[in-house]
Structure 1
Amino acid sequence: MRRVLAAALLVTATGCSTAPAEPATQSTAAPDKIAWGPCTDIKRPDGEPPARQDPSVRCGKLSVPLDYAKPDGDKIDLALIKLPTTSKSKPLGSMVFNFGGPGASGVDTLDQAAKALTNLRAHYDLISFDPRGVERSAGVRCGNGAEMDKFTALDTLPPGEETDREIDAANKQFAALCQQNSGKILPYIGTVNAARDMDRIRAAVGDPKLNYVGMSYGTQLGGVYATEFPKKVGRMVLDAPLDPTVTFEQRTLAQTRGFQRAYESFLRSCLKSTCELGKDQASANANVEKLMNQLTTKPLQVGGRALTQGLAATGLAAALYSELTWPFLEQALGDALKGKGEALMYLSDSYTGRNEDGSYSTQMTSFPAITCVDTAERPSEAELRRTAEASLKISPLFGSEGSGGLCSVWPVKGSNQARHVNASGSAPIVVVGGKGDPATPYEWAPKLTAQLKTGRLVTYQGEGHGAYLSGSKCVQGLVDGFLIEGKLPEKNASCPAA
């Protein structure tokens, strides 16, 4: 799940094409094989290749139907990555990962997360993939680098009709570019088809059941898979869960509250020592709000670019995802208060997927494409304005109309199939929710657990988006105990902050 502010910058489209017919859940076609080979295009978060590539890491492609209703029709290639197990005895099979988004590259992220997953790799082959519509898997494109720069730099303040008109106009252009550049694939991406793709991956690697770790948006993908293929669920963990039943308004307000809480926790943490932002929480907050308002009329120059309020807000929210980045956020905001915007620009670029050469990953374009296909909800203008007003009352920094605005004008129709999750008949599924998670608020964790029917909830008391890779030995112990030994956590299990 990505932040609502970034999504709110991209809002529009004209005309709607017909949604594809619902394909059958199961396919009788024999799975294609994956041809594994060396990885040649792995990227770091800044878009650069890694300094040194592990020679054991393998990459491959798997051909899947574009439209599962026409399995013998057009195909697309899914890009995959495999970290072969280091097991010296009999391994447990494969463990598939989705690290979130929707829109994050699993190929790049699994390579970056390899060290943190050493324990699991001692028992499983670790596999991830770019879901359809993401990066190497027929990634959705909605403009060149210059056009994307314009969209991501758009200000969301001050609230009012002029700002609304600017956002609406930008969204119309954005949507038209999405249809122009990626119209063929737009109706066929989304979580239901991604779940079917994941079952093809399971079959292609020869596993009778899917062992899976889904984080953030990956929890929805896992939930949909368990609904579509309950008897194929192996050991599954869903970390930082999304409640797929929430409306756009409910999601926006919950996330606004989540980011505001995380921001206030960040300020309190900053003030435990000498804080560059102010002498107390009120003055620190006032200085940050003043900075954001000033950037609407006087952006900071960073090289040949301008750090706008929109980019600064994106950088601020991006750093709230993890408590580990709070010290860098303090520095970035402190520098910006002194007229230096480089650090905030770096945070923003890392979130939006902007590379040093000015090109972009599909991170910001895959997100709305998948989100809007996953729901039939299309909010009216009045509903969007109501959402924006309510969220701005919660937080002037993080309030917005959310991603509902873009979906209200998206060029393809959506379906509610991905919003109905019921894994009855599946093996037990472990759900991990964090009390201080800004992007997927804790309230969604027990809700998803109940919807799954077979869910078992683990509560993490700490900060940040996602618990398994947060550094909590307690969470890692419970999760690894389940994934490696099959030991289900006790009911109402809880872990303290790391």
Structure 2
Amino acid sequence: MKKPIAIFLLGAAVLAGCGTAEKPAEPPAAKNTATTKSTGTAGKTGAVAWTQCTDLTGVDGRPTTPASGVECGKIQVPLDHAKPDGEKIDLALIRVKAAGDRLGSLVFNFGGPGASGVDTMAMATQAFGTLGRRYDLVSFDPRGVERSAGVKCGGQVDKLLEAESDADGDKLAREFAAACEKDSGKVLPYVGTVNAAKDLDLLRTALGDEKLNYFGLSYGTHLGAVYATHFPKNVGRFVLDSAFDPTVTFEERAVTQATGFDQAFEAFAKDCVAQSCELGANPAAVESTVEKLLAGLKDKPLKVGDRELTYGLAQLAVITPLYAKASWPMLEQAAAAALKGNGTTLLTLADAYTGRKADGTYSTAMTSLQAINCADNAERPTAAQTAQINAKIGKIFPILASESSAGVCAHWPVKGDDAAKRIDATGSAPIVVIGGKGDPATPYQWATTLTRQLKTGVLVTYEGEGHGAYLTGNGCVLKAVDAYLLEGTVPAAGTTCAA
């Protein structure tokens, strides 16, 4: 029986439920090159040469053609910020040029940690179309992610996801960490959120912006909070949506998320029944059906072509649609198909979560996540401690629990620290923090605690379901965010948006 290794998740790397850019009928006929001049300390990074994007990947892992107006570029940043004139690495960028009267740049981080901002922005242009009329929409692959010295671990992701036993899981976690050191040893000591925040300030300078205007989702709220802590005077208009509290321990994170996903699963089951659900006549029956489906895969994985839908992959497949209410019908359809012997959609959902590409290779989403999580924490949970965490998760939301007590950080080759846990943006411009009452991955309580830590935070409460309140299309949330980013109008204290 295969058992997945414990993974300390934060947020999905895909924007579930958001609009994606339509592909043009054919690529632009000629290369369009533009240069953004740098100012201030620009000599450290140089200008950004924007050119046609050539290596974008869609959510299905296949190459994709960018929409009109989408450009790519790169800047160089120090591998070690303590040695600004030393070795450099490339930071991959993407830009969607403002369609109207330009206010400046708005930089996005879509979460993870480990999500490619380059690929996600290429898919998400329609979701931020209103903002795109006044801003150049900019994103990037943070250091250690994909094109920006992405962390690679010897093709070990499949092994990371599954193990035969606790002892085997611990062995594979050790082998995975060793493979990361072998393939990415140069960058591993320098990944993490503090270094990414310093890169972000160099990006601001390279874009020619006096202040950084920023939109962070999920893990992106952590990066934004760390930036505001280190560079409070450079904070422009900041929105942190689906806020993460970086002070929580691995155990607190896991237990809180288990509670959030359990509540989202219950809400899905109720909604499914209200829509004439194939999975059961009442919410309890729906939940039981999905749980029994997964349990059956422990001993008898479902064949999907030349692959198998295992219990561990099915866990990830069920979790993925719970991030957004718009994706709940997909979970119903995928589970119903699997009950009839067709696991294709569930396997596709798992692949979207793990970053598996059509050719069987993986993006760096999972490997980058591990590297950044381990860098941002001094914690090194042992197998015994991880087993205790899994036991607690299992009592709250069994679908999220791992049956293997292995943890990668216990064997990580680089010592982590807690520098990214210290948040205090005193002296910055107001920072809008959004928390969703029905957010499974970054529960509402984290938005309240992050707002207090920032000192300059202004909390907006969304009472609906889903991870990423702005992406739900809720009119109240859109109005509050757009008014701040486009006009500088700070939301009133206690702003609450009904579902």
Contact kept? 1:259, 1:317, Cα under 8 Å: yes
**2:159 matched residue in structure 1:** 150
Q: Distance in 2 between matches of 1:173 and 1:140?
A: 15
Q: Check 1:66–1:425 CA distance in 2 against 1; reply closer, same or farther (3 A cut).
A: same
Query: By how many angstroms is 1:402 displaced?
Result: 10
Q: Distance in 2 between matches of 1:429 and 1:103?
A: 24
Contact kept? 2:383, 2:405, Cα under 8 Å: no
Contact kept? 1:238, 1:432, Cα under 8 Å: yes
Q: Which moved more, 1:280-289 or 1:296-305?
A: 280-289
Alignment of 1:239-318 (within 5 A): 239-318=241-320
Q: Check 1:63–1:417 CA distance in 2 against 1; reply closer, same or farther (3 A cut).
A: same
**2:344 matched residue in structure 1:** 342
**1:108 matched residue in structure 2:** 119
Q: Distance in 2 between matches of 1:7 and 1:105?
A: 23
Q: For residue 82 of structure 1, give the secondary structure of its aligned residue in structure 2.
A: strand
Contact kept? 2:8, 2:254, Cα under 8 Å: no
| Identical pairs, percent | 55
Query: By how many angstroms is 1:465 displaced?
Result: 0.7
Q: Check 1:246–1:313 CA distance in 2 against 1; reply closer, same or farther (3 A cut).
A: same
Contact kept? 2:384, 2:405, Cα under 8 Å: no
Is 1:194 aligned to residue 196 of structure 2? yes
From 399, 402, 418, the equivalent of 2:401 is 399
**2:354 matched residue in structure 1:** 352
From 60, 64, 74, the equivalent of 1:61 is 74
**1:14 matched residue in structure 2:** none
* 1:58-113 deviations in Å (ceiling 9; x for gaps): 110100000011111111000000111111x3x21110000000000001111111
**1:474 matched residue in structure 2:** 476
Q: For residue 113 of structure 1, give the secondary structure of its aligned residue in structure 2.
A: helix
Is 1:45 aligned to residue 43 of structure 2? no
Q: Distance in 2 between matches of 1:245 and 1:29?
A: 35
Q: Distance in 1 between matches of 2:378 and 2:340?
A: 46
* 1:427-453 deviations in Å (ceiling 9; x for gaps): 000000000001001110010000000
From 66, 79, 96, the equivalent of 1:83 is 96
Q: For residue 411 of structure 2, give the secondary structure of its aligned residue in structure 1.
A: coil
Contact kept? 1:7, 1:368, Cα under 8 Å: no
- In structure 1, what residue type is equivalent to 2:97? P
**2:86 matched residue in structure 1:** 73
Q: Distance in 2 between matches of 1:408 and 1:45?
A: 31
Q: Distance in 2 between matches of 1:222 and 1:41?
A: 27
Alignment of 1:117-266 (within 5 A): 117-144=128-155, 147-152=156-161, 154=162, 163-266=165-268
Q: Which moved more, 1:77-86 or 1:370-379?
A: 370-379
Q: Which moved more, 1:266-275 or 1:377-386?
A: 377-386
Query: By how many angstroms is 1:403 displaced?
Result: 11
- In structure 1, what residue type is equivalent to 2:145? V
**2:330 matched residue in structure 1:** 328
The answer for unaligned runs of 5 or more in structure 2 is: 10-39
Q: Check 1:168–1:124 CA distance in 2 against 1; reply closer, same or farther (3 A cut).
A: same
Q: Which moved more, 1:255-264 or 1:164-173?
A: 164-173
Q: Distance in 2 between matches of 1:213 and 1:412?
A: 30
Q: Distance in 2 between matches of 1:340 and 1:408?
A: 37
The alignment covers a number of residue pairs equal to 467
Q: RMSD of aligned C-alpha atoms?
A: 2.0
Contact kept? 1:252, 1:401, Cα under 8 Å: no
Q: For residue 205 of structure 2, give the secondary structure of its aligned residue in structure 1.
A: helix
- In structure 1, what residue type is equivalent to 2:90? D
Q: Distance in 2 between matches of 1:318 and 1:73?
A: 41
**1:22 matched residue in structure 2:** none
Contact kept? 1:107, 1:128, Cα under 8 Å: yes
Query: By how many angstroms is 1:170 displaced?
Result: 2.0
Q: Distance in 2 between matches of 1:399 and 1:191?
A: 27
Contact kept? 1:133, 1:189, Cα under 8 Å: yes
- In structure 1, what residue type is equivalent to 2:157? M
From 36, 42, 53, the equivalent of 2:50 is 36
Query: By how many angstroms is 1:408 displaced?
Result: 2.2
Contact kept? 1:321, 1:438, Cα under 8 Å: yes
**2:24 matched residue in structure 1:** none
The answer for unaligned runs of 5 or more in structure 1 is: 12-25, 156-161
Q: Distance in 1 between matches of 2:475 and 2:4?
A: 32
Contact kept? 1:374, 1:416, Cα under 8 Å: yes
- In structure 2, what residue type is equivalent to 1:377? E
Query: By how many angstroms is 1:285 displaced?
Result: 1.9
Query: By how many angstroms is 1:349 displaced?
Result: 0.5
Q: Distance in 1 between matches of 2:104 and 2:4?
A: 38
**1:16 matched residue in structure 2:** none
Contact kept? 2:192, 2:373, Cα under 8 Å: yes
Contact kept? 1:10, 1:167, Cα under 8 Å: no
Query: By how many angstroms is 1:404 displaced?
Result: 9.0
**1:8 matched residue in structure 2:** 6
- In structure 2, what residue type is equivalent to 1:42? L
Q: Which moved more, 1:227-236 or 1:372-381?
A: 372-381
Contact kept? 1:292, 1:313, Cα under 8 Å: yes
- In structure 2, what residue type is equivalent to 1:210? L
**1:410 matched residue in structure 2:** 412
Is 1:94 aligned to residue 105 of structure 2? yes
Contact kept? 1:10, 1:170, Cα under 8 Å: no
Q: Distance in 1 between matches of 2:93 and 2:150?
A: 14
Contact kept? 1:10, 1:171, Cα under 8 Å: no
Contact kept? 1:38, 1:55, Cα under 8 Å: no
Query: By how many angstroms is 1:273 displaced?
Result: 3.0
- In structure 1, what residue type is equivalent to 2:76? S
Q: Distance in 1 between matches of 2:495 and 2:309?
A: 44
Q: For residue 63 of structure 1, give the secondary structure of its aligned residue in structure 2.
A: strand
Query: By how many angstroms is 1:148 displaced?
Result: 2.5
Q: Distance in 1 between matches of 2:359 and 2:55?
A: 16
Q: Distance in 2 between matches of 1:401 and 1:234?
A: 45
Q: Distance in 2 between matches of 1:28 and 1:213?
A: 23
Q: Distance in 1 between matches of 2:495 and 2:4?
A: 34
* 1:359-382 deviations in Å (ceiling 9; x for gaps): 111111100101110111122343
Q: For residue 360 of structure 1, give the secondary structure of its aligned residue in structure 2.
A: coil
Q: For residue 288 of structure 1, give the secondary structure of its aligned residue in structure 2.
A: helix
